[in-house]
Amino acid sequence: MYDRDQLFINGKWAAPVDGRDCISVVSPHSEAVIGHAVSAGPADVNRAVDAARAAFDAGPWPRMQPAERIEAITRLAGIYNERRADMATLISAEIGAPITFAKRAQVRLPLTMMSAFCNLAAGYQWCQDRPGLYGKNIRIRKQPVGVVAAVVPWNMPQFLTVTKVVPALLAGCTVVLKPAPESVLDAQLLADLVAAADLPPGALNVVPGGREVGELLVRHPGVDKVSFTGSTAAGRQVALACAQGLKQVSLELGGKSAAVVLDDADPSAVATGIQMASLANSGQVCNALSRILVPHQRKDEFVDALAAGMASMTVGDPADPATQIGPLAAQRQQERVRGYIESGKSEGARVVTGGSQMPDGLDAGWYVRPTLFSDATNDMRIAREEIFGPVLTVISYRDEDEAISIANDSEYGLAGSVFTGDVERGYGVAARVRSGTFGVNEGYIMDPAAPFGGVKNSGYGRELGTEGIDSYTVSQSISTAG
**Rounded-to-integer distance, Cα 312 and Cα 235, Å:** 37
Amino acid at 284: Q
Tell which residue, 359, 371, 284, has the closest CA to residue 91: 284
Would you give the distance in Å from CA 308 to the centre of its chain? 29
- Cβ within 8 Å of residue 75, ≥6 positions away: 197, 198
**Rounded-to-integer distance, Cα 473 and Cα 379, Å:** 41
**Rounded-to-integer distance, Cα 85 and Cα 189, Å:** 12
**Rounded-to-integer distance, Cα 149 and Cα 45, Å:** 11
Q: 94 an active-site residue?
A: no
**What's the CA angle centered on 418, arms 412 and 421, to 5 degrees?**
175
Do 310 and 282 form a contact (C-beta atoms < 8 A)? no
Do 306 and 394 form a contact (C-beta atoms < 8 A)? yes
**Rounded-to-integer distance, Cα 374 and Cα 307, Å:** 10
N-term to C-term CA, the chain: 68
**Rounded-to-integer distance, Cα 87 and Cα 71, Å:** 22
**Rounded-to-integer distance, Cα 189 and Cα 197, Å:** 13
**Rounded-to-integer distance, Cα 264 and Cα 430, Å:** 16
Tell which residue, 407, 414, 405, 411, has the closest CA to residue 393: 407
Residue from 94, 182, 252, 386 carrying the catalytic annotation: 252
Measured N-to-C along each axis, helices 66-82 and 184-196 cross at an angle, to the nearest 10 degrees, of 120
**Rounded-to-integer distance, Cα 24 and Cα 63, Å:** 39
Burial of 348 (0-12, 13-18, 19+ CB in 10 A): exposed
**Rounded-to-integer distance, Cα 98 and Cα 283, Å:** 12
Active site residues: 252
